[in-house]
Chain A
Amino acid sequence: MTPDLTRSSAADLAGALSRKDVSAVEATQAHLDRIAAVDGDVHAFLHVDTEGALAAARDVDRRRAAGEELSPLAGVPIAVKDIAVTKGVPTTCGSRTLEGWIPPYDATVVARLRAAGLPILGKTNMDEFAMGSSTEHSAFGPTHNPWDLERIPGGSGGGSSAAVASFQAPLAIGTDTGGSIRQPAAVTGTVGTKPTYGGVSRYGLVALASSLDQAGPCSRSVLDAALLHAVIAGHDVMDSTSIDAPVPPVVEAARRADVRGLRVGVVKELGGEGYQPGVRTRFEESVQLLVDAGAEVVEVSCPHFDYALAAYYLIMPSEASSNLARFDAMRYGLRVGPDGVGSPSAEQVMAASRDAGFGDEVKRRIILGTYALSSGYYDAYYGQAQKVRTLIARDFAAAFEQADVLVSPTAPTTAFRIGEKLDDPMAMYLNDIATIPANLAGIPGMSLPSGLADEDGLPAGIQLLAPATKDERLYGVGAALEAALEQRWGGRLLDRAPELDGSAASATEARA
């Protein structure tokens, strides 16, 4: 019997491909079939590029047959968050405003995937312009958590994490502005890394907050994340903020999986009150496993983290209000005329189009940001927030004097129910309380599964943080912890996720 290719890790699949046990076309087709079977339930994808993915797979097979030297992940299919522009393939950012727009160019991340021979299966769902923690703010409907289809898959990159968790893709690209890779990873039982700011090019990623955004890998294992990290990272002349230095040795670190002698700092301010008991229990067990594996644990304090959420919700909307100004219906995207105006001015068309094209959360943040940058308020809001940012970076610097990596729960809770927090923005924003400090400081962070919370049987995540440019530490610690956890579980966490058979979708359709 042929093994199910969709259950394979990216590393194993890459091995099978390089040994020519399977072809890239077979691997890609298997995932396309899986998408056809289960994505009606999950709704991880906004667009599936069957033809493009198979063409890329055929090309890999042809080159492999010709004896060409290929990238380690050549032929391993991947899903890409719909925030990365893809030449010739629709890119919507989960927004009506970009519905129907076909980008004329590839994001650098996408170009690197293509160059490395990873067939792109399609584009994954997300909160509109990456604004949200549940993927409910997608203009095209929410993504469902494969562990419980009534629950959210996290956000903004819920589509990428859900695609990986439901075996529709072994790998996916996410972006993380305040936790949009890590929090979805935590609530779907998957792995996600936000690299050091500047580690991966932002060119072609539709910007939410330029000083915070970072693309990174989503996967089912730490090694898989490292393999993808190595493909997409590295200097890009098209992004001034990209780091001009060698990519950290992430794959080597993941393979070594060694924490002996490493100092692990537990951040006092990230945990405790507001964190679900089951999340805390799994976190504490993980810390103990690291100790058992030879790490030394210290407690560190980052007192200014208390202000991180407030600072983030000034800086992010400020930058977003400016970044999203370009969606004005003049050159691309949705264009609507104002009602009852015979010959509208450009200004009226801009206003009407932005009103029709943007959802409530986007409008909320544009208004917040516009206000925070306004003359007379700038110093009190944007200016103060930047100072907090500096203090948080100093907190991290001090903490990394005492510890090589820092750890915390990734998110305060497991996946909540769809609709539960939709009318309470503050409750929604609190999902990112533990992930935001890393974005403000530009340091790398990873979430990996710590187990299932006792009270609801849903996945919880542990977050690892490392100093800027020391991304490899995440992989070394992550891989060691993953090995210890899987030994305890007797296998992979995701093997315990419920089977999906597409019945939920047919039930939904029947109701509709």
Chain B
Amino acid sequence: MTATTTDAVMDLDEALERFDPVFGLEVHVELNTATKMFCGCATGFGADPNTQVCPVCLGLPGALPVVNATAVESAIRIGLALNCEIASWCRFARKNYFYPDMPKNFQTSQYDEPIDFEGYLDVEVDGDDGPETFRVAIERAHMEEDTGKSLHVGGATGRIQGADHSLVDYNRAGIPLIEIVTKPITGAGGRAPEVAKAYVSALRDLMKALGVSDVRMEQGSMRCDANLSLRPRATGSQEQADVPLGTRTETKNVNSLRSVERAIRYEIGRQAAVLAAGGSIVQETRHWHEDTGVTTSGRPKSDADDYRYFPEPDLVPVAPSAELVERLRGTLPEPPAQRRHRLQSEWGYSDLEMRDVYNAGAVELIEESVAAGATPAAARKWWMGEIARRASAELRPLADFGVTAQHVAELDGLVTSGRLNDSMARQVMEGLLAGEGTPTEIADARGLQLVEDDDALETAVDEVIAANPDIADKVRGGKVQAAGALIGQVMKAMNGQADAGKVRRLILDKLGA
């Protein structure tokens, strides 16, 4: 079902000429702890509905929460990686509202005492002269529990409107979440959509590097809400920062990197059209429609939404010691951007090559392949070739195709050792993608082996020279490039199973060129 809208949308360039976009992002990251935030239930994705539940996460009468210490450590590590202050004492709070997928009808979250606060994340965007760094200020990151998942049955849209009944799966209820909230991001101007995407992307890399989350947006383990408002462009001697902020909308469930950029772009155009027509922006939540690339009005949201927050009396305060924080600081990984720059220089990739590799999600795979013995060039060639084409076409991760870093290193080894030439290696890659075994097994099974019998090769060279006296003369006469035709014929005679470089050397030697 396609969401339709009659909203007018202003051309982006025009919108940005007239208005300054200010945006903020709320990103929910599901932690990959073995157990839930407040109970011992398993957290695996995709289990049968309501099989990973217990009295605590079902909110049965009398059940009490106990904080998952690993989740707290992950929250602290995330805070440290986001350059945040870590609270030495903070509490959980209850956010009270009724909804069937929330077993207790309150969410155990953090309110005015987040564990992480006042940080920043530097993200890279393309500038006029290569990559530029944009600093995104982080307001806070706090711990909370996820809700269950409602499945609305019988309607056309899968939304609750028009549904016949709803099913609730509580497996997700109580999964630990970290909500990371930026401060209002100003100063991005026309690059706002790009900065938003780069921020979410950088956040995803950081979570991955920290090893705290699977950050698979398509599975919902990373979810993004985008707030956006417009204010008039500063005029005259006015500073842009002195222009008051406009009314914002919150677009929910913008759950892919591409969508983050598109949703921000759409909302800029939509709000600009409203404002330019003399209208005013309604403070509301909006739904993002991935298929049509538009947002539609959700429920009105005002600051009067009253969740009756109060400190969670069933939990004791979280008070991480300075020693713990310092120990966790010692476990932080190299910042992803810094690591990317280091790897780029180690691997000798161009900016463009590195960006492609990064965008394809191949950095780790190449790193592992190189560690397993592949050359950086070969590793890039293999991962960014057929595998990347398929991954891109099927919207699946590169690692999903049965080819491992070990395979790539082994394949590259077979080439550098002289067993396979390039076209043979491509056949082996086909075999790998078809799941036929390891590179050596595939080469053996397919009978792929360069001929190392020099006599046979020399005989073939002699025969080709004898059969092509004209070309041979040209080569003798100094037209070395004419040797290509001879090489091709020799390779054909050898059924492709010869080292082309070696053939070339033999021909040139024999013709004294």
Contacts and interface: CB of A to CB of B under 8 A. Distances in A.
A91 to B, nearest CB: 7
Interface of A: 84-85, 91, 93, 98, 101, 103-105, 107, 202-207, 209-211, 237-241, 318-319, 321-322, 325-328, 330-332, 346-347, 350, 370, 373-375, 378, 382
A153 to B, nearest CB: 24
B104 interface: yes
Contact of A322 (B58, B100, B306, B308): B308
Contact of B96 (A210, A240, A330, A373): A373
Contact of A346 (B64, B65, B100, B106): B100
Given A240-B314, A318-B310, A325 B63 contact: no
B308 A205 contact: no
B153 to A, nearest CB: 13
B310 A322 contact: yes
Contacts of B59: 326, 331
B127 interface: no
Interface centre among B62, B65, B168 (most CB of A within 10 A): B62
A239 B316 CA distance: 10
B306 A374 contact: yes
Interface in B95-143: 96, 98, 100, 103-106
A104 B304 contact: no
Contact of B61 (A85, A346, A347): A85
Contacts of B304: 375
Interface string B291-315: 0000000000000101011100111
B67 A240 contact: yes
8 closest Cβ contacts across the A-B interface?
Answer: A325-B105, A210-B313, A373-B308, A211-B313, A204-B62, A206-B61, A85-B62, A375-B306
Interface string B239-257: 0000000000000000000
B61 A325 contact: no
B377 interface: no
A85 B60 CA distance: 10
Contacts of A207: 62, 314
Contacts of A209: 313
B61 A238 contact: no
Contacts of B103: 326, 331
Contacts of B380: none
Contacts, number: 98
A237 B68 CA distance: 12
Contacts of A210: 313-314
Interface string B306-335: 101110011110000000000000000000
Contacts of A327: 61
Contact of A378 (B58, B104, B310): B310
Given A202-B64, A205-B62, A239-B64, A330 B100 contact: yes
Contacts of A203: 62-64
Given A319-B313, A378-B310, 20 more contacts: A204-B62, A205-B62, A206-B61, A239-B64, A240-B64, A240-B66, A241-B313, A319-B310, A326-B61, A327-B61, A331-B59, A331-B60, A332-B61, A346-B100, A350-B100, A370-B308, A373-B308, A374-B308, A378-B308, A382-B310
B418 interface: no
Given A211-B313, A238-B66, A330-B168, A375 B98 contact: no
Interface of B: 55, 58-67, 94, 96, 98, 100, 103-106, 166, 168, 304, 306, 308-310, 313-316
A283 to B, nearest CB: 33
B62 A325 contact: no
Interface centre among B60, B61, B104, B309 (most CB of A within 10 A): B61
Given A91-B61, A103-B61, A325-B98, A241 B104 contact: no
A373 B313 CA distance: 14
20 contacts: A93-B61, A103-B61, A105-B55, A105-B60, A202-B64, A209-B313, A210-B313, A240-B315, A241-B313, A319-B313, A321-B96, A322-B106, A325-B96, A325-B104, A326-B61, A327-B61, A328-B98, A373-B308, A374-B306, A374-B308
B310 A240 contact: no
A206 B60 CA distance: 9
A326 to B, nearest CB: 5
Contacts of B100: 328, 330, 346, 350
A479 to B, nearest CB: 32
B55 to A, nearest CB: 5
A382 B59 CA distance: 24
A382 B100 CA distance: 27
